């Protein structure tokens, strides 16, 4: 049985918080948690839970506004944070993990990009000097995002219809994180080969890597096969380090590095990233990264003591992102075992909008 995952839960909590902002202009912990109590998490198994946050009149002349919420979270990792199970747990011992503190950050941090986006969207119907029928639908469906194979990054989507017509050329999309700097969690072989290709780099023996790591050893079963697989991936990672360090300073390197960052961070849906931790909220947006690119001359690519490859923007000398190969394999009782092989792209300090 899966344990409760705060990152998964925060997708639903942030969706409710957005509903609060559209419906009331502020976020109330009491109202937010009352919505959590209403959620029938059993519906997550097969579909979405739907509810209305508020139906009201606002604006001059009057606008008829309704704010609706649709949620489909991962059932096993979120069920204790919503509905009857959450209500009983809260009464007994308070909120789960750090969720209470993270909700406090949603309330505390008022000068955020996502709040500005909500207000700008509201202004389209509140300040247009017309009486409108407005339907706002906030959809949190992390399961749908995962089924895209990583091309869609948004966990939440906001649709705004005014008099039956969409009020925006593109819906508001948000990718939720909860104290995580991971931008992409890739299979080592496919991920490393893709990145090399993006920078126009070649491995020493592409046919060998393709036929073994991409073929015969893709599902390594015996201890000998597992050992060979790990050794080859380690060799491939060394080639990634050498090749990318050698490419820095080239005429196309800056554009290639920024495009890699944009693709793995924002996806095809260009979702803004909102990272809600127990002490702060951090954001990444396409507009900020595009503006940052105009101020960067190039990258300094260097390997740190942990073997991670750091991409530092210059002249700012700050890390935009890093590549990290996670290898948890060892010999136990005479047999080689693989516990975990992961290849990550992770955000650096320069990726976040300065506060």
Q: For the segment 173-197, what is each residue's pLDDT rounded down to a tens digit? A: 999 999 999 999 999 999 999 999 9
Q: Which residue has the tokens 């049985």?
A: 1
Cis before 256 (ω within 30): no
Q: Please check whether residue 63 is in contact with residue 87, taking contact to mean a CB–CB distance below 8 angstroms.
A: no
Task: Tell me what pLDDT residue 153 has.
Answer: 87
95 falls in which pLDDT band (50, 70, 90)? Answer: confident
Judged against a pLDDT cut of 90, whether residue 101 lies above it is answered with yes
Task: Tell me what pLDDT residue 148 has.
Answer: 52
- The span from the CA of 239 to the CA of 202, in Å, is 9
Is 0.85 surpassed by the pTM of this model? yes
% of the chain beyond a pLDDT of 90:
83
Token pair listed for 337: 């075992």
- The span from the CA of 208 to the CA of 266, in Å, is 33
Helix, strand and coil percent figures for the chain, each rounded to 5: 45, 30, 30
Host H or E run for residue 51: strand 49-58
């Amino acid at each position: 049985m899966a344990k409760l995952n705060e990152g998964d839960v925060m997708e639903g909590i942030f969706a409710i918080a957005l509903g609060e902002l559209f419906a009331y202009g502020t976020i109330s912990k009491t109202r937010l948690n009352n919505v959590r109590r209403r959620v029938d998490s059993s519906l997550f198994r097969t579909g979405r839970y739907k509810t209305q946050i508020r139906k009201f009149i606002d604006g001059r002349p009057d606008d008829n506004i309704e704010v609706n919420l649709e949620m489909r979270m991962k059932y096993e990792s979120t069920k204790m944070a919503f509905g009857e199970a959450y209500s009983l747990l809260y009464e007994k011992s308070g909120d789960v993990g750090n969720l209470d503190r993270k909700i406090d950050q949603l309330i505390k941090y008022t000068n955020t990009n996502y709040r500005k986006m909500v207000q700008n969207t509201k202004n389209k119907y509140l300040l247009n000097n017309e009486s409108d029928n407005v339907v706002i639908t906030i959809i949190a469906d992390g399961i749908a995002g995962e089924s895209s194979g990583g091309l869609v990054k948004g966990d939440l989507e906001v649709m705004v219809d005014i008099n039956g017509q969409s009020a925006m050329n593109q819906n508001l999309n948000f990718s939720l994180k909860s104290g995580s700097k991971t931008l992409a969690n890739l299979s080592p072989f496919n991920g490393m080969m893709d990145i090399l290709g993006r920078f126009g780099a070649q491995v020493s023996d592409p046919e060998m890597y393709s036929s073994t790591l991409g073929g015969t050893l893709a599902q390594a079963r015996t201890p000998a096969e597992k050992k060979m697989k790990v050794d080859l991936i380690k060799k491939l990672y060394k080639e990634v380090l050498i090749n990318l360090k050698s490419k820095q300073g080239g005429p196309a390197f800056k554009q290639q590095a920024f495009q890699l960052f944009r693709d793995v961070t924002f996806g095809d849906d260009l979702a803004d990233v909102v990272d809600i931790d127990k002490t702060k909220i951090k954001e990444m947006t396409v507009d900020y990264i595009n503006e940052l690119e105009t101020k960067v001359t190039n990258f300094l690519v260097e390997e740190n003591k942990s073997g991670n490859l750091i991409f530092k923007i210059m002249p700012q000398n700050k890390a935009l992102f890093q590549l990290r190969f996670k290898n948890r394999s060892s010999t136990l009782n005479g047999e080689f075992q693989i516990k975990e092989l992961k290849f990550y792209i992770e955000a650096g300090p320069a990726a976040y909008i300065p506060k």
